[in-house]
């Protein structure tokens, strides 16, 4: 009997350790954030004012890096704000590992390439600002996964294609700007599902079914 109990206990203990091990293997921490930000830095091809070159150094905590803030509770990166710093390059998909990111603002730079769909893994994101860059290509369907998004600025880029249907899932979105791009196709009906929306800017695109689509600015 004692041996049966001992065996049961050992079995329980090993299962417990196994589950803990699995949880740990998938765990992200501030080191994940550091490697995500270093991957992001490595794809920056021009930084004429040396904003990141020396500052984003592994000899200091990511939480003290310029443009980065952390949240105290989780000790993870909370915001990345690199507005108007004359940066050029593409966006590393590893940015999708900043799982506690709430604010991402890289507006008014010279970033190019595609909108990395990995950004759509940032489930806590409330504000995404890519305004005034040189992004091209489509807006990923996975955009609808960003269910806490309140502010979405994609204006003045070279984005093209349809606005994804999934945008209707952004029930907390207040502000949506996509003016001055090369978007086309119909405005999806699902836009009426966005119950928090107060502003939508669609001007200077090639949308169909909206007369005067060059000047249209809905204020709902
Ligand atoms: C982060 O987690 C990895 C394993 O996933 C571990 O090796 C590392 O020491 C952790 N770093 C910190 C700062 O906790
Ligand atoms: C990086 O910049 C921040 C903000 O300007 C500053 O507080 C910090 O000391 C700098 N770190 C290094 C290593 O230069
Ligand atoms: C961008 O930064 C430059 C100087 O670094 C400044 O002159 C300009 O006013 C800034 N633009 C905006 C829109 O903030
Ligand atoms: C983008 O790069 C061009 C030079 O290629 C420069 O004149 C311009 O100021 C840059 N714009 C921004 C917003 O950094
Ligand atoms: C970070 O992101 C990349 C690409 O999305 C992924 O392959 C990798 O497993 C992630 N790393 C961690 C530690 O989560
Ligand atoms: C963006 O569109 C403008 C206007 O058509 C064009 O001159 C420019 O080359 C495009 N840039 C990129 C990066 O595609
Ligand atoms: C929009 O709302 C309708 C009706 O409530 C629902 O059937 C549909 O799945 C929703 N779609 C999106 C993308 O939110």
DSSP letters, the chain, are: -HHHHHHHHHHHHHHHHHHHHHHHHH---HHHHHHHHHHHHHTEEE-TT-SSTTTS-TTS-GGGSTTEEEETTTTEEEEEE-TTS--EE---GGGGG-TT--EEE--SSEEEE---GGGGG-TT--EEE--SSEEEEPPPGGGGG-TT--EEE--SSEEEEPPPGGGGG-TT--EEE--SSEEEEEPPGGGGG-TT--EEE--SSEEES-TTTTT-EEE-
Q: How far is the CA of 55 from the centre of ligand 2 (A)?
A: 6
CA R_g for the chain:
22
Q: Domain total for the chain?
A: 1
Q: How far is the CA of 182 from the centre of ligand 6 (A)?
A: 10
| Residues framing ligand 7 (Cβ under 6 A) | 165-166, 168-169, 190, 193
pLDDT of residue 214: 37
Q: How far is the CA of 111 from the centre of ligand 4 (A)?
A: 10
Site to probe by mutation for ligand 5, drawn from 27, 29, 93, 94 as the one with most ligand atoms within 8 Å of Cβ, is 94
Q: pTM, whole model, 2 decimals? A: 0.86
Q: Which ligand is nearest to the CA of 27?
A: 1
Of all protein residues, whose CA lies closest to atom 8 belonging to ligand 1? Answer: 31
pLDDT of residue 216: 40
Q: Which ligand is nearest to the CA of 90?
A: 6
Q: How far is the CA of 33 from the centre of ligand 3 (A)?
A: 28
pLDDT of residue 209: 74
Atom of ligand 6 nearest to the CA of 134: 13
> Consecutive sets of 10 residues in the chain, 220 residues long: mean pLDDT of each?
55 52 66 97 95 94 98 96 97 97 98 95 98 98 97 98 96 97 94 92 88 41
Q: How far is the CA of 65 from the centre of ligand 2 (A)?
A: 6
pLDDT of residue 137: 97
Cα gap 144→60, rounded to integer Å: 36
Do 123 and 147 form a contact (C-beta atoms < 8 A)? yes
Q: Which of 43, 115, 27, 41 is nearest to 76 (CA)?
A: 27
Residue 24, domain CATH: 3.80.10.10
Site to probe by mutation for ligand 1, drawn from 20, 29, 99 as the one with most ligand atoms within 8 Å of Cβ, is 29
pLDDT of residue 28: 85
Domain of 200?
A: 2-219
Quick check: CB of 108 below 6 Å from ligand 3? yes
pLDDT of residue 1: 52
């Amino acid at each position: 009997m004692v041996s049966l109990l001992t065996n049961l206990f050992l079995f329980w203990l090993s299962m417990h350790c196994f589950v803990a091990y699995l949880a740990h293997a998938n765990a992200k921490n501030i080191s994940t954030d550091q490697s995500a930000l270093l991957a992001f830095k490595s794809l920056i091809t021009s930084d004429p004012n040396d904003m990141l070159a020396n500052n984003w150094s592994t000899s200091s905590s990511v939480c003290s890096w310029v443009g980065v803030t952390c949240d105290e509770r989780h000790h993870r990166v909370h915001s990345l704000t690199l507005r108007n710093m004359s940066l050029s390059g593409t966006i590393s998909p590893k940015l999708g590992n900043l799982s506690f990111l709430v604010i991402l603002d890289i507006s008014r730079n010279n970033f190019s390439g595609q909108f990395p769909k990995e950004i759509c893994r940032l489930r806590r994101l409330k504000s995404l600002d890519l305004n005034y860059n040189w992004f091209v290509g489509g807006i990923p369907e996975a955009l609808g996964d960003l269910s806490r998004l309140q502010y979405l600025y994609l204006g003045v880029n070279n984005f093209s294609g349809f606005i994804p249907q999934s945008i209707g899932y952004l029930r907390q979105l207040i502000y949506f700007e996509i003016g001055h791009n090369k978007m086309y196709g119909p405005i999806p009906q699902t836009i009426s599902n966005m119950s928090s929306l107060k502003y939508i800017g669609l001007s200077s695109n090639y949308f169909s079914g909206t007369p005067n689509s060059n000047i249209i600015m809905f204020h709902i």
